[in-house]
Amino acid sequence: MGHLLYRRPRGEDFDVRRRRLLFRSWHRGTQENDLLLGSFAEAFLAGMDNAELDCFEALLECPDTDLFDWILAGNAPPQEHDHRVMRLLRDFGAASHCKALPHHR
C-alpha cells in the first residue's frame, strides 16, 4: 500500500494538527500498526512540541513494514528517523507488546 505525502496547511492550528495525526495513527492500513501507533498517539501527542510532531508525522509517511521492523523487531531505523520520538515509540512498543502477549514475559 503506497502512502501519499500529506502537506500540512500553513498556519494549521496546533490542536487540529494533533487531531489529524491521531486520526492518521489509527488508520494506517494494518491492524498491528493501527493499534500500536494509535495507542502511542493517544498517550504522547498532547505532550509533543512542533519539532516532535514533525518527527512523528515523518514516521507516518514510512511503510508499515519498516515501522514494524524498527519499533518491534529491533532493527535500527535510518539516521533521519533515529530520534527521541522513535525511542519513545520503541519503548512504548516493547511495553505494549509484552502486555499484549503475556506468554513472552
C-alpha grid cell, residue 58: 515523518
pTM of the predicted model as reported, rounded to 2 decimal places = 0.80
For residue 3, the SS3 value is coil
pLDDT digits (tens, 9 = 90+) for 35-55: 999 999 999 999 999 999 999
Identify the segments of the chain with pLDDT beneath 50.
1-6, 101-105
pLDDT at position 64 is 92
Class of domain 14-104: mainly alpha
pLDDT at position 29 is 83
Chain-centroid distance, C-alpha 91? 12
For the chain, the domains span 14-104
